[in-house]
Amino acid sequence: MTALRIFAPLDQAEPRLRDVLDAYYLPARRLRPKTAAWYAQAVRAWERLTADPPVRRIGEADLQAFLGALAGRSPATRACYASAVAILLRAGAAQGLLAAAPEMPEVDGWTPLRHVPSVAEIDAFLAAASGASWPCRASSRCMRETIARLRASPSGSCSRWSPRCASTCRSVSTTKPRL
């Protein structure tokens, strides 16, 4: 059973990571319930595996110790928790709770993004696909617009693009088109 946390207004106490989540991050964003639960789960792991220092005292050594304590978990889980903590620290820095967010160390065994082609590479791909039939060209044009949008977005949701690219590349074959 977890104890109910009641904290003083943040200007009177030294805020912890939970306080940044509850007082600053969640109210400022309209997150889906699953996303909010994911942040809460990451903060619970932080509280359980560290001494839960005040936000202004969190340094790179604390972040390294947190990742070390997560050593038994999968690289994807470690990367997700590290990402949530880093986002909350940046939110705390934006609110003036700490001078600057410390740099999150790399998560061993985790490669977050595959190669994302540049616009020039996509143009070369589209030029090679110019002889393909209409559905393939339409798909390739849609893919280019999607890539341009993802490159411009701050989050860069590239994880959704990789499987689509592979299927589009297979369908654009000029010798054996799959329509």
| Residue-wise pLDDT tens digits, 17-57 | 999 999 989 998 888 999 999 999 999 999 999 999 999 99
Q: How far apart (Å, rounded) are the C-alpha atoms in residues 31 and 34?
A: 8
Ramachandran bin of 124, using left for φ above 0, alpha for ψ from -120 to 50, beta for the remaining angles = alpha
Residue 4 has pLDDT above 90, yes or no: no
Element (H, E) at 48: helix 33-49
Report the chain's mean pLDDT, rounded to a whole number.
76
Query: What is the reported pTM?
Result: 0.58
Determine the pLDDT at residue 139.
64
Rounded Cα distance, 146 and 141, in Å: 9
Helix (H) / strand (E) containing 169? helix 161-171
Q: Give the per-residue pLDDT at 6.
A: 41
**Residue 2's pLDDT band (cuts 50, 70, 90):** very low
Instruction: Give me the mean pLDDT over the 112-133 stretch.
Output: 70
Residue 12: the pLDDT is 47
